């Protein structure tokens, strides 16, 4: 953060302030996402926004070592009472939160007091991966699907907000005002909503948003979730994005859609590989597929994630890929004939919303880039329910198993750096210990209102 960048950020704050005043904004919430996938916040009144943009808002680095129950680990690179960072709101992503009247929001970039990026800042690590791909002439378009479950009242027990059939119009009708306000608040926040629908599980809904650059997609998913949370509270509901709301039900995924682009062309389409994949697009996908066990330590990072990641729940619990296969960890989507050069993409289904979306982006891009460097190829696609074959390898069935793969993966080590690898492992071990001996009901209940 040099003087020039400070001046640029201060100028953006000055430029934004008039519009914010006109829209009745009093204060700006500045969020970052911790290692456990929880958005943490500091806020400033509008009068302080310019100072915050240029000089940052003080915040302890301790949150990198927080577990989902707010207990704190003590590690080599994170934890403990000492130190202070600077949160610089990125005003390029400023949004007005109409569901929280008087509030605007911006994501934070975390720097140290010498103006260097904090080595555990997930948004910084994601940007570094975007830049590495760009150095090879590539860009990625991404989006996170958002599934959530809405519960009536403010109690800790889950009371589904709708009782109609899965995907049923009844569920929309039961909560039409709520869903209208979700769409309205997202649109007012500048989100390009593509669709909204009732999902399968009790009280479950889903929003899809347009693809954008990877950092934008991660920012968007934070904004979408916090907006849904706010609209829910305004309607006397409680929203949860937890991977497994009820031990017996279908979970909430946070599927990540990715397409790789070079020279204005989508490399997921127009090639002579299977389903139109180009060789480079296939290699990118292969880099991800071959590293899924390790990637899960970031993308399915909670003990509850492994209650969700089971066969026959459309969570993508098998280490395979297939065209429009909703049980494959990677569902390949071509889009409609005539629109494929725009629409074709990979959907990484096994990720959930306990993942820090910036870290998710960072590791997916790193794995894809490694695949391209290796000239990776995909195995045969799976065109049936993988379970029925009996030969397709399931993904790790526990966080501990995913962590083992993660800690020995050289590509992820290079992407995230030793400090982040060590801190992720620290937090994952802490959460494994936290739930030691707990049965699925207890894991679901204790995770339910955290994300």
Residue 98 C-beta: closest distance to ligand GLU, Å: 27
Site for Mg ion in 341-360 (CB under 5 A): none
Binding flag, residue 307, ligand GLU (CB under 6 A)? no
- The pair of three-digit structure tokens given for residue 135, joined into one six-digit string: 């150095």
Kindly write out the interface string for residues 188-227 of this chain, putting x where it contacts Mg ion by CB under 5 A and - elsewhere: ------------------x---------------------
Q: Total binding residues for ligand GLU by CB under 6 A?
A: 11
Nearest residue by C-beta to ligand GLU? 253
Binding flag, residue 431, Mg ion (CB under 5 A)? no
Binding flag, residue 282, Mg ion (CB under 5 A)? no
- Closer residue to ligand GLU in complex, CB, 253/371: 253
Alpha carbons 163 and 130: distance in angstroms, whole number: 43
- Closer residue to ligand GLU in complex, CB, 253/430: 253
Q: Are 424 and 298 in contact (CB under 8 A)?
A: yes
Residue 265 C-beta: closest distance to ligand GLU, Å: 28
Binding flag, residue 448, ligand GLU (CB under 6 A)? no
Residue 251 contacts which entry, Mg ion, ligand GLU, none (Cβ below 5-8 A, type-dependent): ligand GLU
Phi (first) and psi of residue 450, to 5 degrees: -90, -30
Kindly write out the interface string for residues 337-366 of this chain, putting x where it contacts ligand GLU by CB under 6 A and - elsewhere: ------------x-----------------
Residue 18 C-beta: closest distance to ligand GLU, Å: 42
Alpha helices in 235-311 (DSSP H): 279-289, 292-299, 305-308
Nearest to 297 by CA among 417, 434, 396: 396
Among 308, 448, 450, 451, binds ligand GLU (CB under 6 A): 308
Residue 90 contacts which entry, Mg ion, ligand GLU, none (Cβ below 5-8 A, type-dependent): none
- Axis crossing angle, helix 279-289 with helix 357-374, rounded to the nearest 10: 120
- The pair of three-digit structure tokens given for residue 252, joined into one six-digit string: 């909430």
Binding flag, residue 251, ligand GLU (CB under 6 A)? yes
Phi (first) and psi of residue 119, to 5 degrees: -70, -15
Residue 153's CB is within 10 A of a number of other CB atoms, namely 11
SS (H, E, C) 131-153: HHHHHCCEEEEEEECEEEEEEEC
Residue 448 is given by DSSP the state T
Please report which helix (H) or strand (E) contains residue 185, including its range: helix 176-188
Binding site for ligand GLU (CB under 6 A): 147, 250-253, 308, 313-315, 326, 349
């Amino acid at each position: 953060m040099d003087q020039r960048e400070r001046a640029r950020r201060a100028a953006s704050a000055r430029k934004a302030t008039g519009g914010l005043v006109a829209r009745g904004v009093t204060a700006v919430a500045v969020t970052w996402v911790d290692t456990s996938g929880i958005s943490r916040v500091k806020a400033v009144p509008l009068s302080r926004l310019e100072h915050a943009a240029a000089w940052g808002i003080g915040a302890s680095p301790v949150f990198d070592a927080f577990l989902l129950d707010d207990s704190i680990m003590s590690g080599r690179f994170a934890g403990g009472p000492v130190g202070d960072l600077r949160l610089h709101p990125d005003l390029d992503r400023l949004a007005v939160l109409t569901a929280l009247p008087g509030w605007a929001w911006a994501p934070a970039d975390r720097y140290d007091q010498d103006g260097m990026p904090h080595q555990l800042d997930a948004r910084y690590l994601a940007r570094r991966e975007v830049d590495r791909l760009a150095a090879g002439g590539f860009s990625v378009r991404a989006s996170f699907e958002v599934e959530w479950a809405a519960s009536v009242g403010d109690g800790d027990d889950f009371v589904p907000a709708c009782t109609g059939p899965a995907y049923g119009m009844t569920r929309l009708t039961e909560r039409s005002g709520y869903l209208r306000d979700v769409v309205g608040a997202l649109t007012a926040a500048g989100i390009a909503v593509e669709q909204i629908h009732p999902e399968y599980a009790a009280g479950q809904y889903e929003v899809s948003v347009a693809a954008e650059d990877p950092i934008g997609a991660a920012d968007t998913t934070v904004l979408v979730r916090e907006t849904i949370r706010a609209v829910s509270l305004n309607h006397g509901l409680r929203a949860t994005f937890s991977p497994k709301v009820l031990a017996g039900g279908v979970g909430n995924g946070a599927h990540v859609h990715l397409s790789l682009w070079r020279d204005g062309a989508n490399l997921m389409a127009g090639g002579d590989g299977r389903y139109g994949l180009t060789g480079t697009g296939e290699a990118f996908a292969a880099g991800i597929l071959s590293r899924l066990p390790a990637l899960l330590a970031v993308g399915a990072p909670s003990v509850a994630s492994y209650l969700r990641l089971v066969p026959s729940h459309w969570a993508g619990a098998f280490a395979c890929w297939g065209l429009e296969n909703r049980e494959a960890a990677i569902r390949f989507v071509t889009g409609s004939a005539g629109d494929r050069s725009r629409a074709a993409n990979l959907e990484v289904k096994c990720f959930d919303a306990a993942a820090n979306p910036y870290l998710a982006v960072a590791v997916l891009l790193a794995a894809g880039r490694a695949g391209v460097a290796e000239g990776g190829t995909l195995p045969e696609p799976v065109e049936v329910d993988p379970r029925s074959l009996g030969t397709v390898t399931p993904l790790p069935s526990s966080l501990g198993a995913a962590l083992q793969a993660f800690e020995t993966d050289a590509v992820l080590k290079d992407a995230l750096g030793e400090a982040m690898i060590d801190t992720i492992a620290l937090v994952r071990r802490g959460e494994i210990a936290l739930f030691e001996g707990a049965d699925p009901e207890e894991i679901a209940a204790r995770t339910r209102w955290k994300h």
